[in-house]
């Protein structure tokens, strides 16, 4: 019988005389890290990332080190080219990785900055395997899905465990069990559990309980069949999380327990909630966090004193949900408004700020394709603030500019993000500076006044060619400006970017002479990154995506200031704290 240590041989020890192939990073210690593996059945989009990040947060609060990773089945190298209509927003990490929106859920819930090590696609896995094959790393063997591709997946997980010094690595497999493209991920997880040994892995099956209105009762058959597929692939679930509109009844949970060999107390009802930030409490109340600790045999690693402190902070936050004193309406103007996941980070940033300010924020979605100066007031007269989010392409741009003009001229709080920053510059150039033909070369490549453009000197500076500026960059703040005050009078602030086009420096003097203030720029280059209009209640734009770094306990200052200004707009007769005071008040 082959000893388990032989299964974990390094690549250099593999010969053609053995069928065991499991590459392991040098210095990896078996047993140091445990693995929680979350996979879905019945259908996708049920909240695997929410469940996984909520459970990870509970263990993090106990003093454990956790590291999440999302395994996506598609062949794209990253999520950068995915259409928001099909896949929701593209979330950008600080190191520039364009990834799945679930990484945003992990960053917000865990209050951690993640990296490309926390996100993998089939394209990345296959590319790595083929590169190694070309370099002769497989010692003349024929390269196969098993063991080489599955071995590459396990290698990525073990590298993450080592680099993060994690006690628990949370592995989320995209899609559902039965999808062809993620079958090798599931096989890799089966192998991982075998190689790491008993108590090393905890498998979670997230499923869906149907509740047809015509029947008036919950049906678990689809869930049972989905779990059966998981078991047929060699995976015995340890926990079943049941998604449903209403709390899952005892009878349905009993059926699933019997069918899946999972103890009843580990069949968990994850029903709809007013906020995803209440899910950790649902898990904790059911004792699921300690079930996982027992399954992984790491009860001795927890710090209960640390948990009391951290859980107290979290409860202070969640206790505010649903107890708002004020209410405002924010208009979000864009072209992906039919798919709310396209703007997930913006919605969360607004939610964080609203909870901190005890303000319920209603969203009015405005498709800008049909908006113009003649009808803009009909679309916006009932909003207390306007956000123009990021986006690409020409459709709806003139409608966005009309909305920005309305906000500027009617003292309605405005926040422009990325493309919204660029459109605010164009609106100001046209209607204040008299540059009637001002435009962006993205919209009109041959325009006579290219106020927004891709500049050759910027390409040389950044070394990006035709690609976008991606990831975290430092922004130098101009003193005695609103941006400077919102960020606590700091000289610089780090923000995340995803854009190609900039303000052409030759127009900066014209814009600033008419009153536009560029309060944030690249530290060493004439690249404008934050704008504002003094004297306006709140008019700001940024080339960055500040929503990407907003966290529940640390709301992003620009969003806090914006929501505070919207509150003052809605309640003009009340003396509420201004946007700067609000930002300082909620800063933790």
User: What does the pLDDT read at residue 313?
Assistant: 96
Q: What's the mean pLDDT in 68-84? A: 90
Pair 300, 351 in one domain: no
Residue 334 falls within a domain, yes or no? yes
Count the neighbouring beta carbons within 10 Å of the beta carbon of residue 335: 21
> Of 260, 288, 315, which closes a domain?
315
- pLDDT for 483 beyond 60: yes
Q: Tell me the CATH number at 227.
A: 3.40.50.300
Pair 390, 493 in one domain: yes
Alpha helix segments (H runs only) across 319-390:
344-356, 376-380
User: What does the pLDDT read at residue 303?
Assistant: 96
Alpha helix segments (H runs only) across 386-455:
397-409, 419-431
pLDDT in tens, 437-447: 999 998 999 99
Alpha helix segments (H runs only) across 302-396:
304-318, 344-356, 376-380
Q: What's the mean pLDDT in 456-483? A: 75
Q: What's the mean pLDDT in 335-341? A: 62
Reduce the DSSP state of residue 505 to 3 states and report it: helix
pLDDT in tens, 498-532: 988 999 999 999 999 999 999 999 998 889 999 99
Pair 345, 220 in one domain: no
User: What does the pLDDT read at residue 578?
Assistant: 86
- Provide the pLDDT confidence category of residue 336 given band limits of 50, 70 and 90: low
Question: Which of 533, 544, 538 is CA-nearest to residue 563?
Answer: 538
Interhelix angle for 344-356 vs 557-570, to 10°?
70
Q: Tell me the CATH number at 378.
A: 3.40.50.880
Is residue 499 within 8 Å of 528, Cβ to Cβ?
A: no
Instruction: Write a three-state SS string for 107-148.
Output: HHHHCCCCCHHHEEEHHHHHHHHHHHHHCCCCCCCCCCHHHH
Pair 249, 370 in one domain: no
User: What does the pLDDT read at residue 340?
Assistant: 66
User: What does the pLDDT read at residue 466?
Assistant: 45
111 phi/psi in degrees, rounded to 5? 55, 50
Among residues of the chain, what percentage have pLDDT more than 90? 79
Residue 4 falls within a domain, yes or no? no
Q: What's the mean pLDDT in 177-184? A: 93
Distance CA 386, CA 414 (A): 5
Is residue 520 within 8 Å of 504, Cβ to Cβ?
A: no
Pair 430, 332 in one domain: yes
User: What does the pLDDT read at residue 335?
Assistant: 66
User: What does the pLDDT read at residue 293?
Assistant: 97
| Block residue for tokens 């009617």 | 410
Lowest-confidence segment of 207-216, 277-286, 308-317, 559-568 by average pLDDT: 207-216
Residue 5 falls within a domain, yes or no? no
Distance of CA 267 to the CA centre of its chain: 27
What residues pair up with 414 in beta bridges, in sequence order?
386, 539
- Provide the pLDDT confidence category of residue 8 given band limits of 50, 70 and 90: very low
Pair 459, 530 in one domain: yes
Pair 255, 385 in one domain: no
Pair 217, 289 in one domain: yes
User: What does the pLDDT read at residue 16?
Assistant: 52
User: What does the pLDDT read at residue 278?
Assistant: 95
- Provide the pLDDT confidence category of residue 255 given band limits of 50, 70 and 90: very high
pLDDT in tens, 156-174: 999 999 999 999 999 999 9
Residue 405 falls within a domain, yes or no? yes
- pLDDT for 13 beyond 90: no
Residues whose CB falls within 8 Å of the CB of residue 327, separated by 6 or more in sequence, listed in order: 359, 360, 361, 362, 570
> Of 250, 280, 315, which closes a domain?
315
Residue-level length of the chain: 588
Pair 404, 363 in one domain: yes
Residue 366 falls within a domain, yes or no? yes
Structure tokens at 253: 């949970």
Pair 343, 372 in one domain: yes
Is residue 104 within 8 Å of 548, Cβ to Cβ?
A: yes
- Provide the pLDDT confidence category of residue 20 given band limits of 50, 70 and 90: confident
User: What does the pLDDT read at residue 462?
Assistant: 52
Residue 464 falls within a domain, yes or no? yes
Give the domain extent around 197.
27-315
Pair 309, 403 in one domain: no
User: What does the pLDDT read at residue 216?
Assistant: 83
> Of 288, 315, 342, which closes a domain?
315
Is residue 412 within 8 Å of 366, Cβ to Cβ?
A: no
User: What does the pLDDT read at residue 15?
Assistant: 46
Is residue 30 within 8 Å of 197, Cβ to Cβ?
A: yes
User: What does the pLDDT read at residue 524?
Assistant: 85
Question: Is residue 564 packed enough to be buried (19+ CB in 10 Å), middle (13-18) or exposed (0-12)?
Answer: buried
Count the neighbouring beta carbons within 10 Å of the beta carbon of residue 247: 15
Mean pLDDT of the chain: 91
pLDDT in tens, 529-584: 999 999 999 999 999 999 999 999 999 999 999 999 999 999 999 988 888 888 88
Instruction: Report the number of distinct structural domains present in the chain.
Output: 2
User: What does the pLDDT read at residue 85?
Assistant: 67
441 phi/psi in degrees, rounded to 5? -70, -15
What does the longest C-alpha to C-alpha distance in the chain come to? Answer: 83
Pair 280, 330 in one domain: no
- pLDDT for 416 beyond 80: yes
pLDDT in tens, 193-252: 999 999 999 999 999 999 998 888 899 999 999 999 999 999 999 999 999 999 999 999
Q: What's the mean pLDDT in 362-380? A: 92
pTM for the model: 0.92
């Amino acid at each position: 019988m082959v000893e388990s240590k032989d299964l974990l041989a390094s690549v250099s020890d593999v010969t053609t005389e053995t069928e065991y192939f499991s590459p392991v990073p040098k210095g990896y210690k078996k047993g140091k890290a445990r693995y929680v593996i979350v996979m879905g059945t019945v259908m996708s989009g049920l909240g695997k990332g929410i469940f996984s990040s909520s459970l990870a947060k509970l263990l993090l609060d106990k003093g454990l080190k956790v590291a999440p990773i999302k395994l996506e089945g598609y062949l794209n190298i990253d999520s950068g080219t995915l259409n928001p209509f099909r896949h929701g927003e593209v979330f950008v990490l600080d190191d520039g990785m364009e990834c799945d929106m679930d990484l945003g859920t992990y960053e917000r819930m865990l209050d951690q900055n993640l990296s490309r090590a926390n996100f993998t696609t089939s394209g990345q896995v296959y590319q790595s395997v083929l590169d190694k094959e070309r370099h002769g790393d497989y010692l003349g063997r024929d390269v196969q899905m098993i063991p080489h591709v599955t071995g590459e997946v396990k290698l990525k997980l073990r590298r993450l465990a080592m680099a993060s010094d994690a006690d628990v690595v949370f592995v989320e497999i995209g899609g559902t069990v039965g999808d062809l493209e993620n079958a090798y991920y599931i096989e890799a997880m089966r192998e991982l559990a075998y190689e790491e040994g008993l108590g090393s892995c905890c498998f979670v099956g997230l499923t869906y309980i149907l509740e047809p209105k015509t029947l008036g009762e919950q049906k678990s058959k689809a869930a049972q069949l989905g779990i059966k597929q998981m078991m047929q692939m060699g995976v015995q679930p340890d926990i079943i999380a049941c998604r449903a509109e209403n709390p899952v009844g005892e009878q349905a949970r009993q059926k699933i327990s019997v069918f899946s060999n999972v103890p009843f107390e580990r069949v968990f009802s994850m029903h709809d909630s007013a906020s995803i930030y209440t899910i950790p409490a649902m898990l904790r109340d059911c004792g699921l966090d300690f079930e996982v600790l027992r399954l992984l045999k790491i009860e001795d690693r927890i710090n209960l004193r640390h948990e009391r402190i951290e859980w107290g902070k979290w409860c202070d936050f969640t206790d505010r949900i649903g107890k708002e004193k004020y209410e405002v309406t924010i208009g979000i103007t864009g072209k992906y408004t039919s798919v709310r996941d396209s703007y997930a980070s913006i919605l969360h940033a607004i939610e964080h700020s609203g909870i901190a300010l005890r303000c319920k924020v209603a969203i009015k979605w405005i498709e800008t394709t049909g908006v113009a100066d003649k009808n803009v007031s009909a679309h916006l007269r009932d909003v207390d603030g306007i956000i123009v989010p990021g986006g690409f392409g020409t459709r709806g741009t003139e409608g966005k500019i009309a909305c920005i003009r309305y906000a500027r001229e009617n003292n309605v709080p405005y926040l422009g993000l990325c493309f919204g920053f660029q459109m605010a510059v164009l609106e100001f150039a046209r209607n204040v500076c008299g540059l009637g033909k001002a435009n962006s070369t993205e919209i009109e490549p041959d325009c006579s006044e290219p106020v927004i453009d891709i500049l050759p000197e910027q390409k040389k500076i950044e070394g990006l060619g035709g690609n976008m500026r991606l990831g975290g960059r430092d922004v130098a703040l101009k003193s005695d400006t609103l941006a400077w005050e919102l960020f606590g009078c700091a000289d610089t602030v780090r923000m995340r970017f995803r854009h190609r086009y900039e303000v052409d420096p030759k127009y900066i003097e014209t814009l600033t002479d008419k009153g536009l203030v560029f309060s944030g720029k690249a530290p060493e280059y004439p690249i404008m990154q934050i704008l504002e209009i003094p004297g306006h209640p709140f008019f700001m734009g940024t080339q960055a995506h500040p929503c990407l770094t907003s966290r529940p306990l640390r709301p992003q200052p620009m969003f806090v200031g914006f929501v505070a200004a919207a509150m003052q707009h809605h309640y003009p007769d009340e003396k509420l704290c201004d946007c700067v005071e609000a930002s300082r008040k909620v800063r933790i």
